[in-house]
Amino acid sequence: MFSKVLIANRGEIAVRIIRACQELGISTVAVYSEADRESLHVQLADESVCIGPPASRESYLSVPRVISAAEITQADAIHPGYGFLSEKSGFAEVCEASGIVFIGPPAEAIRVMGDKSEAKRTMIAAGVPVVPGSDGVLESLEEAEATAERVGYPVILKARDGGGGKGMRVVTRAEDLEKQFQIAQAEAEAAFGSGAMYMERYLVKPRHVEVQLAADKHGNVIHLMERDCSVQRRHQKLVEEAPAPGLDESIRQRMGEVACAGARGIGYHSVGTMEFLYEDGDFFFMEMNTRLQVEHPVTEMITGVDLVKLQIRIAAGEELGLSQDDIVARGHSIECRVNAESPYHNFRPSPGTIQALHIPGGPGIRFDSHVYSGYTISPHYDSMIGKLISYGGSRDEAISRMLRALAETRIEGVDTTIAYHREVLAHPDFQAGKVDTKFIERMQSGNGSAKGAGKGEQPQA
Ligand code: ADP
């Protein structure tokens, strides 16, 4: 096992990883930018190194600075968390070349899955069903037109290098394709440095269902059930749950098996997630996230497996120590992403100082966060305050506990998404398990109990 791990991240996930290391008896090194001096991850770690100014490019995304910090502190491994360097295959390679273990998958698996069109090709070869679409990157408008004719409208244009729900455009009619293709390319160029686009059939009312995977360096691969992340705003997840409500047992099993086959196909090790779209009994591979996910706690709650400790043990060369039959889901878990945003003003960020804070507790409630009373949420990074997670013996109990906990939470000084989460959780369709990726749109258009947050607003895509 490692004796010292450097955490190349900030915020709640840095804190989550430090906690796992502490439980494993591993010393920790925090890195931080000048904007994060007062951050909890810096206070909780055994050592800390300032790696630069607030801009991520010059701190959390700077490979030389992160590697130097690991060398100075003699860390034997680096945990990248999610975001930042976690899915940069070049970073994993530099770690390896520097004799530092990257706590994540092989660099080649990151590279293949990071190129969304190559990822789809690889998955087809492994026998995984994918959304019908272009064969790789679209080389021209003519090819886009021909592909759209073949798969049928509506279609979605996606940036090869996109992520985080960005760089996607839905085209419903042939006459809009040329314009949308140009806009999408320009947007992708500006946001990701490449205008490379591919195309898929746009499913109208799918559910986002993803399978949690764990694989060791000895060829053992298992899945830890699925999560439903259909409650999304502008393709970004707001509420996640495990297991997926009402999912047919045979589908669940097949999805798990297919996901494991996909992971084997690329020689994967570490934890990872295979994302699928599910519609009318069919499911299609969308992408694989080769890292720990934000929503990993709901899986931990129903399986009893600590995914971060498992990930560290795998990186250290240990065997999984779990077989597929050991994974038994019990009860239900829900996560709400509590952000410093104004949900009734188009979710605009609301950075500032938290003046007062009361975090709920009681049975079945967990709060993963890096904030404290007096903490200032910086405008430089994402606006997450923390993740509120509930667990119950049944979905109904997980919902009632979440509603109880949301009502009790007090965060003063910044606007938060809590009131919006209460609307979601109280919505009759959510309570009935009728979730799909259009749920939020329906809720906002005033269908049901919603008060009409951002009423009339259309999703970007
Ligand atoms: P990102 O990597 O940016 O998060 P994804 O490919 O995971 O992008 O897609 C994010 C969300 O966009 C999905 O969860 C789903 O709601 C929607 N989406 C993506 N592809 C399709 C599609 N082919 N049809 C319908 N919705 C889609």
DSSP labels, 281-343: TEEEEEEEE-S--TTHHHHHHHH---HHHHHHHHHTT------GGG----SEEEEEEEESEEG
Q: Give how far Cα 32 sits from Cα of 167, 186, 366, 367, 441, Å.
A: 29, 33, 25, 22, 38
Cα separation, 436 vs 200, whole angstroms: 18
Distance from Cα 126 to the centre of ligand 1, integer Å: 21
Provide the residue type at 149 as one letter.
Answer: E
3-state secondary structure of 156: strand
CATH topology for 4-103 is Rossmann fold (3.40.50)
Q: Catalytic one among 291, 313, 337, 401? A: 291
Q: Closest Cα partner for 156 from 201, 196, 97?
A: 201
Distance from Cα 165 to the centre of ligand 1, integer Å: 7
Cα separation, 70 vs 7, whole angstroms: 9
Per-residue model confidence (pLDDT) at position 458: 32
pLDDT per residue, tens digit, the chain (461 aa), is: 999 999 999 999 999 999 999 999 999 999 999 999 999 999 999 999 999 999 999 999 999 999 999 999 999 999 999 999 999 999 999 999 999 999 999 999 999 999 888 999 999 999 999 999 998 899 999 999 999 999 999 999 999 888 777 789 999 999 999 999 999 999 999 988 999 999 999 999 999 999 999 999 999 999 999 999 999 999 999 999 999 999 999 999 999 999 999 999 999 999 999 999 999 999 999 999 999 999 999 999 999 999 999 999 999 999 999 999 999 999 999 999 999 999 999 999 999 999 999 999 999 999 999 999 999 999 999 999 999 999 999 999 999 999 999 999 999 999 999 999 999 999 999 999 999 999 999 999 875 444 444 433 333 33
Per-residue model confidence (pLDDT) at position 447: 57
The CATH H-level (homologous superfamily) assignment of domain 132-201 is ATP-grasp fold, A domain (3.30.1490.20)
Determine whether the shortest distance from the Cβ of 433 to ligand 1 is under 6 A.
no
Q: Which is it for strands 77-79 and 101-102: parallel, antiparallel or unpaired?
A: parallel
291 belongs to the catalytic site: yes
Cα separation, 409 vs 359, whole angstroms: 5
DSSP-assigned states of every residue in 437-454: TTHHHHHHTT-SS---TT
Q: Closest Cα partner for 125 from 264, 256, 220, 223?
A: 264
In the chain, what are the domain boundaries?
A: 4-103, 132-201, 207-447
Distance from Cα 233 to the centre of ligand 1, integer Å: 11
What are residue 163's DSSP bridge partners? 166
- Mutate which of 289, 437, 438, 442 for ligand 1? The one with the most ligand atoms within 8 Å of its CB, which is 437
Cα separation, 173 vs 12, whole angstroms: 42
Architecture of the domain defined by 207-447: 2-Layer Sandwich (3.30)
- Mutate which of 208, 282, 289, 291 for ligand 1? The one with the most ligand atoms within 8 Å of its CB, which is 208
Per-residue model confidence (pLDDT) at position 420: 97
User: Is 334:398 a contact under the CB 8 Å cutoff?
Assistant: yes
- Mutate which of 171, 286, 441 for ligand 1? The one with the most ligand atoms within 8 Å of its CB, which is 286
User: Is 102:315 a contact under the CB 8 Å cutoff?
Assistant: yes
Determine whether the shortest distance from the Cβ of 162 to ligand 1 is under 6 A.
yes
pTM: 0.94
Per-residue model confidence (pLDDT) at position 457: 36
Per-residue model confidence (pLDDT) at position 452: 41
Distance from Cα 119 to the centre of ligand 1, integer Å: 14
Cα separation, 227 vs 243, whole angstroms: 5
Per-residue model confidence (pLDDT) at position 166: 78
Provide the residue type at 273 as one letter.
Answer: T
pLDDT digits (tens, 9 = 90+) for 317-338: 999 999 999 999 999 999 999 9
Per-residue model confidence (pLDDT) at position 228: 98
